[in-house]
Amino acid sequence: MILIGQYDSPYTRRVAVSLGVLGFAFEHDTRSVFGDFDSMRTVNPLGRVPSLILPEGTTLIDSAAILDWLDQTVGPDRALLPPGGSSRQEALQRIALATGTIDKVMAAAYERLIRPEPRRWAEWTLRCRTQAKGGIAALAAHSWPANAPVDQAVITTACMIRYIRLADPDLLPSGRYPSLEVLSQRCEALTPFRATYPADYVVPSTR
Ligand SMILES: N[C@@H](CCC(=O)N[C@@H](CS)C(=O)NCC(=O)O)C(=O)O
């Protein structure tokens, strides 16, 4: 299997971590969505990451579809999403908050990093960051027990936290959301998360 996308993408990262947690071996293709746009479009017509090329050659796009394939492949006993009922609904709601927050942080970051300065729209950026703050606060209001299994809600939320710390750290001031800090610290110390860092990277104790 080949996972395409760099790990500064929280969507690629949640797939890489999930592959690791479930014990799948895979190769990593580090093409860039912006630097290798034409080449990327030959893999995914949308020119986005992540994509996963399966052993028999099928290409899956979109992290949710890829994660669904992983869960289907390992079966309900090992799947990272509960198979049904209120626990599935609860997990999907947490994931919706985390991915919705990622989308808003990313939209604000693209506005800042990609759009030429004279064309930037401050009100739009403010709106996106306000929406992101709402998502973060709502996730922080959930309970994240330290002994809870590392399921998809935990993985995606941890990837969201790490992405925000890279893309817009002011949205997560140190000390404001202790439960999310504990969740992040716990996850980032685990091998499947560490595997997405450069070999010489030292995970800070608090960030
Ligand atoms: N819904 C998609 C979102 C993927 C996404 O936003 N990917 C970003 C990188 S994290 C990307 O490819 N951005 C470039 C673009 O959209 O042009 C998924 O879950 O895979």
Sequence ranges of the domains in the chain: 2-74, 85-194
pLDDT confidence tier of residue 53, bands split at 50, 70 and 90:
very high
The whole-number pLDDT of residue 121 equals: 94
Residue of 166, 177, 193 whose CA lies nearest to 97:
177
Which helix (H) or strand (E) segment is 207 a member of?
none
CB–CB of 149/123 below 8 Å? no
Ligand 1 close to Cβ of residue 63 (< 6 A):
yes
Give the model's pLDDT for residue 123: 96
CATH of domain 2-74: 3.40.30.10
C-beta 4 within 6 A of ligand 1? no
Give the whole-number percent of the chain exceeding pLDDT 70: 96
Mean pLDDT estimate for the chain:
95
Q: Over 70: is that where the pLDDT of 206 sits?
A: no
Q: Averaged over 165-177, what is the pLDDT?
A: 97
CA angle 102, 104, 109 (to 5 degrees): 90
Q: What was the pLDDT predicted at 47?
A: 97
Class level of CATH domain 85-194: mainly alpha
- For ligand 1, atom 13, the nearest C-alpha belongs to 48
Provide, rounded to the nearest whole percent, the portion of the chain with pLDDT above 90. 95
Ligand 1 centroid distance, CA of 103 (Å) = 9
121: left (phi over 0), alpha (psi -120 to 50) or beta: beta
| The pLDDT of residue 207 | 38
pTM reported for the whole predicted model: 0.96
pLDDT digits (tens, 9 = 90+) for 77-131: 999 999 999 999 999 999 999 999 999 999 999 999 999 999 999 999 999 999 9
Q: Quote the pLDDT of residue 187.
A: 98
Is ligand 1 within 6 A of the CB of residue 7? no
Q: How close is the Cα of 50 to the center of ligand 1, in Å?
A: 7
Cβ 52 vs Cβ 2: under 8 Å: yes
For every residue of 130-185, DSSP letters joined together read: HHHHHHHHHHHTS---TTS---HHHHHHHHHHHHHHHH-GGGS-TTT-HHHHHHHH
Ligand 1 pocket residue status of 62, Cβ below 6 Å:
yes
pLDDT tens-digit readout, 33-48: 999 999 999 999 999 9
Peptide bond before residue 50 is cis, with ω within 30 degrees of 0 = yes
Confidence of residue 198 (pLDDT cuts 50, 70, 90): confident
Q: What is the mean pLDDT of residues 9-30?
A: 98
Q: And the tokens for 153?
A: 């809600």
Ligand 1: residue of 30, 40, 43, 48 to mutate (most ligand atoms within 8 A of CB) is 48
- Residue 201: pLDDT band by 50, 70, 90 thresholds? low
